[in-house]
Amino acid sequence: MTMQYFGPTKLDAALIPEIARKWGTPVYLHDQAYIENSCDQLLNMPNAYGLHVRYAMKANSDRTVLRVVTNKGLDLDCSSINEAARAFAAGIPYGRMMLTTQEVPAGEERTELEEMIRAGLKYNVCSMTQFQLIADFAKSINLDLSIRVHPGATGGGESATRDTGSEYSCFGVHLNDVPKVKDMADKLGLRFTQVHVHIGSGGDPEKWRENIDRELGFVRTYFPDATTVSFGGGLKVARMPGEKQADIASLGAYAKQRIEEFKAVTGRELQMEIEPGTFVVANSGHIVTRIIDKKLTNELNFLIVDGGMELLTRPLLYGSEHPIAIVRQDGTLLSSEYDQTPTASLKSFGVVGRCCESGDSVRLDNDGNIVPVMIAEPEIGDFVVIGGTGAYSESMSPENYNSHRKPGAVMKTRSGELVLIRKKQSREQIVQNELDVKL
Ligand SMILES: Cc1ncc(COP(=O)(O)O)c(C=O)c1O
């Protein structure tokens, strides 16, 4: 039987040459039905007294993706006022956004921030300095605030670089400083109506449970005005076979139970908030690349593809793994790591991109050495399709390195239509902000 469909979106291999013919390679590919299904799963998470889901738009900030997600009823978490402005330009009102940022902008951007807040943007205080910078303005318009707390306990990241709870992480008001900030707020008559903790990305669900207990503990101790408790994002997806996806129903059931117990002790009904990015979009995405060269050496066989670290930097940044599928030019699926098929006649290849960088590979070990991928042997001109790339790929890449142009993006719609949602960058766009200075 010929294999045809692969990956979590059950992508039809025959579409790959069609996409390449229409829009060239490399190209990002998304799947609307998959994104909507993720949203449904999240919105159906068990909860005690209400659930509010925000999509962490840093995962993928494309306007079409934002519209798909917000049309499903999710609101947004923005990590800069630029993200907020971008979402607003996509037609999403500020009242559906929260800002969780490392900086309170100054000058013109400060004025913009205040306008956004007046228009409904929720502000999540992430440090004592931030509180001091925002307090007078908040007081002047009687603004209720959210506070991001650094829990002072190792969080749930897949790697140290994605752990936002440990002592090496600088995010949020440290638990030790919470009484001081709370005291300052009390003196000004400002209220924290939401408490927020994000412990990291893609870690052990057990850590997520621990965080629920810890967070409810300090909500009880320090935040009598809180009506919402946010447990952040970080819900793990299984990109590779063998990885275990977070069980949303079970995590929700745990949170529900704990929030009900909280009510039994305090009489307070807390609304639950979550703000996943990865879970919403990661497995909806593929990058379609074409094999442009092949080198068989005594040490390692290489496939050189026309898109690598400039499209997907996670392997280099975190050592993350993404499943590879091999599709022939006629649309036949040769092998799919995600589906672990076929299991025989596989050969090992280092899959590398076209940047002049030794670490430009889809699979690297912790020392930065290329890890070969077991795949069916393809020919030059065939396609390497990289899975699990819907999150932190387009939005997080060192694009334009080696002056490669940011590729276009295509959405497979709910009805199966392929629609271009972003054009490939032009050469002019790469240099458009450079000035012709005569020295
Ligand atoms: C504050 C905050 N919330 C939510 C997220 C989303 O995390 P994830 O994509 O792991 O769900 C992040 C990711 O860095 C974050 O920093």
Q: Report the number of distinct structural domains present in the chain.
A: 2
Instruction: Tell me if 298 sits within 8 A of 83, measured CB to CB.
Output: no
What sign has the CA pseudo-torsion 363, 369, 375, 381? positive
Nearest in space to 121 (alpha carbons), one of 105, 107, 100: 100
Is 412 inside any structural domain?
yes
With CA atoms as reference, report the closest residue to 301 among 268, 347, 267: 347
The H-assigned helical ranges of 51-119 are 63-71, 81-89, 107-118
Please count the CA atoms within 13 angstroms of the CA of 49 that sit on its side-chain side.
15
Please, what is the Cα angle at 252 between 250 and 254, to 5 degrees? 70
Is there a single domain that holds both residue 346 and residue 197? Answer: no
* 188 and 265 belong to one structural domain: yes
- The 8-class DSSP code of residue 283 comes to G
Whole-number Å distance between alpha carbons of 215 and 148: 11
- Is the CB of residue 15 less than 8 Å from the CB of residue 327? no
In a domain, 343, yes or no: yes
CA of 202 to the centre of ligand 1 (A): 9
Q: How far is the CA of 420 from the centre of ligand 1 (A)?
A: 27
- Report if residue 432 sits inside a domain: no
For residue 388, the tally of other CB atoms under 10 A from its CB is 27
Among the atoms of ligand 1, which is closest to the Cα of residue 100?
Answer: 1
Kindly give the number of the ligand 1 atom that is closest to the alpha carbon of 59: 9
What pLDDT score does 156 carry? 66
Q: What does the DSSP 8-state code read for residue 163?
A: B
C-alpha–C-alpha distance, residues 360 and 310, integer Å: 8
Q: How far is the CA of 191 from the centre of ligand 1 (A)?
A: 24
* pLDDT computed for residue 160 by the predictor: 75
Bridge-based pairing state of the strands 27-31 and 409-412: parallel
Task: From the CA of 282, give the closest atom in ligand 1.
Answer: 9
Pairing of β 301-305 and β 324-327 = unpaired
The confidence score (pLDDT) of residue 419 equals 98
In contact, 154 and 163? CB cutoff 8 Å: yes
**Cβ 383 vs Cβ 289: under 8 Å:** yes
Q: Ligand 1 centroid to 99 CA: how many Å?
A: 12
143 and 85 share one domain: yes
Question: What pLDDT, on a 0 to 100 scale, did the predictor assign at position 155?
Answer: 64
Any domain includes 394: no
CA-closest residue to ligand 1 atom 16: 198
Return the pLDDT at 2: 63
Q: Is residue 438 part of a domain?
A: no
Distance in Å, CA 56 to ligand 1 centroid: 6
Supply the pLDDT for residue 354.
Answer: 96
Pocket test residue of 77, 198, 278, 281 for ligand 1, highest count of atoms within 8 A of CB: 198
Whether residue 125 is found in the same domain as residue 263: yes
Strand extents, DSSP E, 139-230: 145-150, 173-174, 192-196, 228-230
> Which of 247, 281, 315 delimits the end of a domain?
281
Q: Is residue 179 part of a domain?
A: yes
Using the mean position of ligand 1's atoms as its centre, give its distance from the Cα of residue 182 in Å. 25
Residues of the chain with pLDDT under 50: 1
- 400 found inside a domain: no
Task: Determine the Cα–Cα distance for residues 362 and 348; give it in Å rounded to an integer.
Answer: 13
- Least Cα distance to 255 among 289, 201, 212, 214 occurs for 212
CA 122 and chain centroid, separation? 20
61, 174: one domain: yes
Cite the beta strand spans of 297-377 per DSSP E.
301-305, 324-327, 333-336, 347-352, 373-375
Atom of ligand 1 nearest to the CA of 196: 1
- At residue 1, the pLDDT reads 46
In a domain, 203, yes or no: yes
Binding-site residues, ligand 1, Cβ < 6 A: 56, 59, 77, 100, 198, 201-202, 232-235, 275-279, 391
Task: From 265, 281, 297, give the residue that closes a domain.
Answer: 281
Residue 208's H or E segment, with its range, is helix 205-222
Q: Of 261, 281, 301, which residue sits at a domain end?
A: 281
pLDDT reported for residue 165? 76
Q: Phi and psi for 365 in degrees, rounded to 5?
A: -90, 180
What pTM was estimated for this model as a whole?
0.96
- Closest residue by Cα to residue 184 from 228, 145, 212: 145
CA 34 to centroid of ligand 1, rounded, Å: 20
- Looking at ligand 1, which atom is closest to the CA of residue 200? 10
* Boundaries of domain holding 210: 32-281
CATH number at residue 345: 2.40.37.10
Q: How far is the CA of 149 from the centre of ligand 1 (A)?
A: 14
Task: Note whether 300 and 317 are same-domain residues.
Answer: yes
Q: What angle do CA 228, 233, 238 make, to 5 degrees?
A: 145
Residue type at position 100: T
What is the rounded distance in angstroms from the CA atom of residue 124 to the CA atom of residue 195? 9
To the nearest 10 degrees (0 to 180), the angle between helices 205-222 and 248-266 is 20
Q: Determine which residue's CA is closest to atom 13 belonging to ligand 1.
A: 201
